[in-house]
Each structure stands twice: as structure tokens, then as C-alpha cells.
Amino acid sequence: MLKNHFLLLIKKLKVSLLDLMPIIVVVVFFQTVVIQQPFPQIGEVLIGVLFVVFGLMLFIEGLEMGLFPIGEALAYALAKKGSLFWLLIFAFALGFSTTIAEPALLAIAKEAALISSDAGLISQDPDTLNNYALGLRLSVAFSVGIAIVIGVLRILKGWPLYYLIIGGYILVMLMTAIAPKEIIGLAYDAGGVTTSTITVPLVTALGVGLANVIKGRSPLLDGFGLIAFASLLPMIFVMAYGLFWFK
Amino acid sequence: MLDILFDFIKILFYTLRDVFPILSLILFFQIVVLKQPIPHLKRVILGGVFVVLGLSFFIMGLEKALFPIGEIMASQLADPAFLGNVDGEVLHWSNYYWIYIFAAAIGFATTIAEPSLIAVAIKAEEVSAGTISPLGLRITVAIGVAFALALGTFRIVTGIPLYLFIMGGYIIVIIQTIVGPKDLIALAYDSGGVTTSTVTVPLVTALGLELSGVVPGRNPAVDGFGLIAFASLFPIISVLGYSQFMVLKKRMSNLK
């Protein structure tokens, strides 16, 4: 049993190494053929690469062992139970809590805090940096929570997806017009960041579960689309966050 | 060595805080709302420990590898000495061509190998009843992301406002949504999110920020972000475009 588990871990390690392979190949090619110089700080970077591979492997393995099966079963059970109140509470909490733990968002929030303090937009002390990064992540997480609630309501009511998306685009354009220009790039990026490792599987399970339970909904047509909202609303909320910090 | 350990413990503590909401959410709903015990409790606890440890390792590696790789590549490829510009004159945007090629290569390579895109491509084949081939879709999306990142780095070098490109992209998506086949719309919108994976995001973000710091006249706070936004928008356009093209092709062959 233990040995099997170990073998499985090795296999997983290979899979996450494969994820990094394309990056390694491209970087090595450019370094040797185009730049023709030794790569700076090669030792430290290699150790870091090992950390990334090992960390991602553990992280995904852990998710698959516990959170994913329970989360998916839970999403399905709640969809079937038919209590709108609990379903919406769950939808919000799921969007919020998965986003707060999203590694890619952590990365971008950190960089954003550093860049803003270098540019003199926020003060340099570590507390302000941490607060700014945390506030950024909280507003993204909050917006993803709201987005999942809207997405669930859409599936329940059968609203066409593209009306909501186009409405969302118009809101993004309006916010862009009034937001400080230092936040716009970050806000647009935040939209793409929210939807990676943890959020997608759990949210898709909720959507597909709902569409399966409700009569006249196709899981393939209606189950998707939750993620689309989860990338639109963060843009709007982060621009609002910028209005709050930079003005 | 002790430094690394101390850092790790600090990160571990922050990670616990980050993972806490999702753990409490699932416990609360399982026990209070559904009133059911947790199945395979031991396994779930072990999984939770893995999640926290894994995330902490990832964050350590992020700062030691993914950010530095993006920064180092940007600063090397945009370095005046590398570009052969010793007299310090202001360079034309076309002098930075290696950075565009590098960005495109990273975009293509990471997208074509992206596991969640492979899953989406297989689903797309099901939804479209075989009209869309999974490999064709993956290549289309990968070319879309490659083009997106090349265009994104070009934008950083020139300093053209980001919103002009994004608005333009939105208008294309809206037109495609109105005229394109309806059954792939939700899938296409979702595919925008899947191309930007956990490994690619930090690297590409660091690349853009460093590039905007190296190119004279650019300001990282204003110009540095936006690559991820490009990489999330273009797959939507390419998936919708590809499905339109395949439907058209089918119609043409039916006419014959």
C-alpha cells in the first residue's frame, strides 16, 4: 500500500516536471543559441525549479486526495438538495475560498505590491506592502465569490450567457475610463489569474452538477460559463480597489 | 541554511491562513448543512497537509526560480549591449525582436503542453459532435497565445495603452459571439482561463515587469502588466474562430 503510494508520487513528480519542460526547453534554447552566455544565478534557479516541481506535485496530490472529491460531492449534493439559500451561500464561499488559496494570484499580488511601492504609489514599509497585497487578493476573491453566485443564478434561471458577458465587458470599459492608469494592467491580468489550479475543478463540478439536476439544461452547454464570470468580475473589482488606494 | 528554514516556516504560516477558508467551508457544509461525516477522514487530513506543504514549497520556488527566470530573460534580451546599441541612442521597437520571439515561444510551448487545455479540447470535440479536432484546437489556441504574448511584449516596448488592445479584442469576441455557432460559446469563454497556468503566470508577469523596467521611457506600474490579460483573451478569439472556420468548412463540403 505504502509502496504503491510512493510509486504514484514518483509518477506525479514526473507529470509536474513535464509541465515545466516546455519552459526549460525554450529558456535553454535562447540561452545557448541566442544569448550565448552562461545563465546567471544558475544554481539558485535550479534549486527553485526543484521547489516548484515538488511543491506543485504535493499541492495537486493533496487536492486530489481530499478537497476535490469532497468538494465535488458537496457541490453535487447541494445542487440536488434544492435549497436556494444554502446553494448561493456555498457558491459565494466556494469562489472566495478557492481564490484566496490560488498560487498564481499570490504571485501576482506580491509583484504588484513591489511595483506599486517602487513607483511611489504606496509607502515602502513591509506592513503596507503586505496589506496592499492581501487587500488585492481579498477583493479578487470577493469578486470571484459574487461571480460564481451570478453564474449559479444564470444556470438556474437559464439566462443566456452572452448577455451577461457583454454587459460585463461594458462595465469593464466604463471602469477603465475612470480608474487610475496604474491599476488597469494589473486589473486586466487579475482576470486571467483567478482561474487556475483550485478554482476551475471545483467550480466546474458545481456548474456541471447543477446543470445535470435541473431539467432542460445540458451539462455541456450550461455547466460551463461559470469560469467566464470568474475572469470578468475581478477586473471590475480590482479597478475599484485601485480607485480606493491611489486617489 | 537557517535562513531558508526560517523563511519556510514563515511561508508555512501564511499558507495555513490561505488554505483555512476552503477547509472550513467544506467542513461546515459537510457537517452542519448536509449533516454527514467526512468520508476517508485520514486520507483527507493527509491531503490537507500535502496541500499546505506543497503550496509553501511552490511559493519558495516562485521567488527563487519563476520570478528570476522571467526577469533574467527580459533583462538579457532587452540589454543594450545584447542589442548592439553601445552609443545609448533610443531604439526603435523593431530592435527588440528577440523578446517578441521569446515571448511567442514561451506562449506556444506552455500552451500546447497545458493539461487543462487538452481536457477542454476533448470536451470541445464532444460538444461539436466531431466537427472540431482536439489537436487542431490545441494548435490554434497555442498559436493564439504565442501571438498574444508577442503582441503584449510589443505593447510594453511601445507603451501603447493596454485598454485599446483589450477593447479591440472584446469587440472581436462580441462579433464572433453574435455570428458564430452558439453551442461552443461557453466553452470558448472558459478556455480563456485555462491557458494561464500556475507556472506560466509568475514567469510571464516577471518578464513583462522587468521588460518595462529595462526599456527606456517605460514605467513598470503603468506598462508592465497586461501580458496575462492578452493570454486570456486570445484563446477565446481563437476557439471561436476555429469553430466558425470548421462549421464553414463543413458547409462548403456539403455544398459540393
Check if A82 contacts B (Cβ < 8 Å): no
> Which pLDDT belongs to residue A135?
93
Q: How far are the Cα atoms of A171, A190, B177 from residue A166, in angstroms, in the given order?
A: 9, 19, 9
Does the structure's ipTM exceed the value 0.95? no
Check if A211 contacts B (Cβ < 8 Å): no
Per-residue pLDDT, averaged over B59-67, amounts to 88
Whether A58 sits inside 8 A of B65 (CB atoms) is: no
Distance CA B70, CA B254 (A): 49
> Which pLDDT belongs to residue B227?
92
Lowest mean pLDDT among A61-70, A79-88, B78-87, B236-245: B78-87
User: A8 contacts in B (CB within 8 Å)?
Assistant: none
This prediction's pTM:
0.86
Task: Give the closest of A46, A111, A225 to B205, CB-based.
Answer: A111
> Which pLDDT belongs to residue A155?
82
Shortest CA gap B256–chain A (Å): 31
Task: Give the closest of A23, A181, A221 to B186, CB-based.
Answer: A221
Whether A58 sits inside 8 A of B54 (CB atoms) is: yes
Name the pLDDT band for A220 (thresholds 50, 70, 90). low
**pLDDT > 70: what percent of chain B?**
96
Summarize pLDDT for B14-56 with one digit per residue, the tens: 888 888 898 888 888 888 888 888 878 888 888 889 989 998 9
Per-residue pLDDT, averaged over B208-228, amounts to 90
Chain A stretch 146-165, residues whose beta carbon is closer than 8 A to a beta carbon of chain B? 161-162, 165
Which 3-state string (H, E, C) describes chain B?
CHHHHHHHHHHHHHHHHHHHHHHHHHHHHHHHHCCCCCCCHHHHHHHHHHHHHHHHHHHHHHHHHHHHHHHHHHHHHCCCCCCCCCCCCCCCHHHHHHHHHHHHHHHHHHHHCCHHHHHHHHHHHHHCCCCCCHHHHHHHHHHHHHHHHHHHHHHHHHCCCHHHHHHHHHHHHHHHHHHCCHHHHHHHHHHHHHCCCCCHHHHHHHHHHHHHHHCCCCCHHHHCCCHHHHHHHHHHHHHHHHHHHHHHHHHHHHHC
Domain edges within chain B: 1-64, 78-255
Residue from B225, B232, B234 to probe the interface with A (highest A Cβ count within 10 Å): B225
User: Using the 8-state DSSP alphabet, how is residue A65 labeled?
Assistant: I
> Which pLDDT belongs to residue B196?
73
User: A65 contacts in B (CB within 8 Å)?
Assistant: 43-44, 46-47, 50
Summarize pLDDT for A114-158 with one digit per residue, the tens: 888 887 788 888 888 889 999 999 999 999 999 999 988 888 888
Check if B174 contacts A (Cβ < 8 Å): yes
Distance CA B34, CA B24 (A): 14
> Which pLDDT belongs to residue A2?
63
